[in-house]
Amino acid sequence: MNPYADELIFSDVLFTFKKGDHMKADLIIKDVYVFNAYFKKFIYGDVSILNGRFLYIGKDCHEKISARKIIQGNKKYLIPGLIDIHMHIESSMTTPTNFANAVIKNGVTTVVADPHEIANVFGIEGIKAMINSDRQHIMDIFYGIPSSVPSTSAKIETTGGQIGIKEVSELIKNDRIWCIGEVMNFKDLVYSEDSLINNIIKLIKKEKPHFKIEGHCPKISGLDLARYIYQGVDADHTQQTPKSIEEKILNGMFLEIQEKSMTEENMEYLISNDLYEHFCFVTDDTMADKLITSHLNGLVKKAIGMGMKPEMAVYASTFIPARRMNFYDRGSIAPGKIADFILLDDLKSFSINEVYKNGQLACKDIGGKKEHEFPDHFYKSIKMNPVSDSDFSVKAPVKEGKVKCRIMKVQSDSTFTKEESDFVEVKDQRLSFETSKYALITVFNRYDNTKKRSYGLVSGSIIERGAVASSYAHDHHNLMVMGRNTEDMKVAANWVIKNNGGYCAALDGKVVASLALPVGGILSEEPIESIALNLKEVRMALKELGYKHNNEIMSFSTLSLPVSPELKITDKGLIRVNTQEIVSLFCE
């Protein structure tokens, strides 16, 4: 008996056959190269499907089984549907329904979403709203319980919601909840036995011992890494190096490789050391302008292009993630497994011909634009009046002269920053950022109208003129504004406030590109194509303003993420990530 049977999706329809009966199936696909996950190779034959599950795979299906429908496979490649076990729907800035419509076409049939973005805005109500809005079943969306809401503590950042023991106890009763989302607060995990995160883990070990606990541990090694894993967190999806891959796998940690970790040296290490049982591919964050053309399939295609055997790239995006997440009913093509599969025209180019979900052709849009899938107050979550020039006036500790300031230096190929320092001019006790070589960054508490805010200075691969503002600021999603002058910062910020959330770029006192995100300040119900177009315009505007980064949107949005090294900013102030302390803009 399967101890997790009550947690899995099994058919409640049983079929019995009398001796001599000719077996019947719903569908037979003839003459295909079928990926066998157990031998990690393709085998030529036929595939039969009954009641949404694979029935018989062999070279003589049509001789032993009659089917309502027979499809000629024409020697295409048949592989399981792709499974993404670590991602955030909110990163696409769309709703679960629209996300499903977009991603199914890319061959992804199952995802495990960590809804910690919506949870930071609305708490457990936001998680429930995400689950309840997704009832179309064009693909399977399971959810992880956000374990770090807020990502650090209320002393360091202000959020609209929190997830505690009470909320976790309620959520684990939902059959769509499948794991514990990424644990980000390293300090509380390893240094405080009675911390919230440790109490959550204790509850899970008692009530749902089979639940996986996802991790987030960049640049953690040695004894710290051992203590992190010892507490029960045994997976990591953050940016890796060959050294971190080796150490983490040596310590029994499972790795979820997202695109930024797919460097030549990392891929060579994974391939040459035959580590396929210890990692899978995940997307983590996929923006709308990329989602319309690629998702997890893009990583599989990239892996093949980087020298990974196609069979192993498929293995690392189907069978291994299924096994990691206790999905015993999918991830392979075998009798009794859910018939989620892809027909590929070509294996090496990973060219998708058709996608099937539960044995049915799945690449069909399940409906047009849907409005107000969420509670009414979700559309009025920016609790701020318009900002003015004075909100960007930074009082300095000296009246005239220069003052030494901490600087966040943005890197062009990472979401990490460096902490530096430099002297900046002061006039009439106000910081003269507009005449300096630095941009001013301001984070406002959007959850009340007090205009509580913090200030920082930014250098590196950022805008050289104009301003950008967004309510999509990881993970607290307060209103964050960065600019070279007060007027453009005011224009960009007020556009976001007026539209109940979004992204806005401004130059010379005018809006040059924008994207409205009225659902909680982080989502849009517009068609994904419309979101993608507007997001692309914002991205291009940031490039025109001088931003030099491989993902300008994510780079800006994560300047407020206080669990991502090295120096970040929240509405409470500048955060030194490694020590989890608030530090002053002005150096002593």
Superfamily in which the 82-333 domain is placed by CATH: Metal-dependent hydrolases (3.20.20.140)
Residue 136 binned pLDDT confidence (cut-offs 50, 70, 90): low
DSSP characters over 61-107 = HHHHEEEEEEEE-TT-EEEEPEEEEEE-GGGGTB-HHHHHHHHGGGT
Q: Cα torsion at 64, 67, 73, 78 (round to 10°)?
A: -80
State the Cα torsion 482-487-490-495 to the nearest 10°: -100
The average pLDDT across 395-401 equals 95
Interval 487-504 mean pLDDT: 98
186, 224 Cβ separation under 8 angstroms = yes
CA dist 334 and 399 (Å) reads 75
Q: What pLDDT, on the 0 to 100 scale, is given for residue 370?
A: 62
pLDDT of residue 219: 87
How confident is the model over 336-359, as a mean pLDDT?
A: 97
User: In angstroms, rounded to a whole number, what is the distance separating the alpha carbons of residues 151 and 475?
Assistant: 7
CA 16/CA 375 separation, integer angstroms = 47
Rounded to the nearest 5°, which phi and psi values hold at 413?
Answer: -125, 20
DSSP 3-state assignment of 310? helix
354 φ, ψ (degrees, to nearest 5): -145, 155
Give residue limits of the domains in the chain: 82-333, 378-583
Share of the chain above pLDDT 70, in %: 94
- Condensed to tens digits (0 to 9), the pLDDT of residues 417-449 reads 999 999 999 999 999 999 999 999 999 999 998
Q: Which of 230-239, 365-374, 474-483, 490-499 has the lowest mean pLDDT?
A: 365-374
Answer yes or no: is pLDDT of 388 > 70.
yes
Looking at every residue in the chain, the average pLDDT score rounds to 93
pTM of the model: 0.91
pLDDT in tens, 213-252: 999 999 899 999 999 999 999 999 999 999 999 999 999 9
User: How many other C-beta atoms are found inside a 10 Å radius of the C-beta of residue 478?
Assistant: 29
